[in-house]
């Protein structure tokens, strides 16, 4: 039986979501103002640290592209997927002639008096696409770092603080959770019942210039409250009800959701079905030829008898 239109849909385990990252590192140089107002490096006067902005701070930095130095001053027009370098005097003052005016400064690395502290800032803003597995509450960055999806914040060794927005994810069942693999006509083949096989089997057969597959119908079920047919592959469903045919739209399929083994198996079913039909046709043709020969022989004998 010819069916004008079906959709072969696949339940997607993995989806994608955009993310934003902020990585701000600072190299500090602590120098002491000497008697003649020249600067001299102090003991343990060089150290580095990573600045953490938190979820809201990183989000705001991406929104405004403006970085505020902790001690005052700003950097504007930060570029995406780009690293910006800047030098800023954190404590004390050095004029254009090199004369310094020191002050007291303390951090977790130590404390000093009459010093000037300069910071070399490295600000890196980046954005990209991460993979998510909602059922496992998992987000996977391109670097391979895994984070808890529901927390919407994490720290990556390469990209720094990473934030994303779960509001764009449909946590409940949604048609976007399914990929459309095929949209077009198909043939529904029903096997004849035999004493050995009481139950009929139904197969959907598709033969086009670029696509060939055959899938067996297992049972009727639902995908996001849409009636579909479960095939022998747990992730593959067939939609043939015209009332719901537009519920699933064709989108780009993520490489993580391609199941090559399932696709190859559908072709094995197709080949099995093709061979079975070919052998059946050959058998029927042989029987027909045999009947024609027997009929010819009977007609010949009848002609002799008369």
pLDDT tens, position by position, 65-90: 999 998 888 999 999 999 999 999 88
Q: How confident is the model at residue 44 (pLDDT cuts 50, 70, 90)?
A: confident
With cut-offs at 50, 70 and 90, classify the pLDDT of residue 171: very low
pLDDT of residue 257 exceeding 60, the answer is no
Helix (H, G, I), strand (E, B) or coil at 232: coil
Q: Which residue has the higher pLDDT, 170 or 285?
A: 285
| Average confidence (pLDDT) over 224-236 | 83
Sign for the pseudo-dihedral over CA of 198, 204, 209, 210:
negative
C-alpha distance from residue 70 to each of 101, 104, 117, 206, 240 (Å): 20, 16, 13, 65, 62
More confident site: 296 or 24: 24
Give pLDDT, residue 173: 60
Q: Is 159 left (phi over 0), alpha (psi -120 to 50) or beta?
A: alpha
Q: How confident is the model at residue 216 (pLDDT cuts 50, 70, 90)?
A: confident
Highest mean pLDDT among 11-20, 77-86, 271-280: 77-86
Of the two residues 83 and 137, the one the predictor is more confident about is 83
Chain mean pLDDT for the chain = 80
Higher pLDDT, 152 or 271: 152
């Amino acid at each position: 039986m010819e069916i004008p239109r079906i959709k072969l849909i696949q339940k997607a385990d993995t989806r994608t979501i955009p993310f934003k990252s902020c990585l701000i590192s600072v190299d500090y140089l602590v120098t002491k103002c000497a008697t003649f107002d020249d600067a001299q490096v102090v003991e343990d006067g060089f150290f580095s640290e990573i600045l953490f902005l938190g979820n809201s701070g990183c989000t705001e930095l991406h929104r405004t592209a403006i970085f505020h130095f902790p001690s005052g001053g700003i950097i504007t027009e930060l570029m995406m997927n780009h690293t910006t370098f800047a030098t800023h005097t954190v404590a004390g003052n050095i004029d254009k002639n090199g004369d310094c005016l020191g002050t007291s400064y303390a951090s977790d690395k130590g404390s000093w008096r009459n010093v000037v502290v300069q910071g070399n800032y490295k600000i890196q803003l980046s954005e990209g696409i991460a993979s998510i597995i909602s059922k496992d509450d998992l987000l996977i960055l391109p670097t391979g770092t895994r984070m808890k999806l529901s927390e919407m914040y994490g720290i990556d060794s390469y990209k720094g603080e990473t934030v994303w927005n779960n509001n764009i994810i449909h946590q409940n069942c949604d048609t976007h959770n399914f990929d459309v693999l095929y949209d077009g006509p198909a043939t529904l083949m029903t096997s004849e019942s035999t004493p050995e096989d009481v139950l009929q089997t139904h197969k959907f057969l598709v033969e086009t210039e670029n696509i060939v597959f055959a899938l067996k119908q297992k049972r009727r079920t639902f995908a996001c409250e849409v009636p579909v047919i479960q095939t022998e592959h747990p992730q593959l469903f067939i939609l043939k009800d015209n009332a719901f045919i537009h519920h699933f739209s064709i989108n780009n399929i993520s490489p993580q959701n391609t199941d090559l083994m399932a696709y190859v198996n559908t072709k094995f079913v197709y080949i099995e079905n093709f061979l079975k039909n070919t052998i059946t046709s050959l058998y029927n043709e042989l029987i027909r030829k045999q009947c024609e020969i027997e009929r010819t022989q009977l007609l010949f004998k009848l002609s002799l008898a008369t």
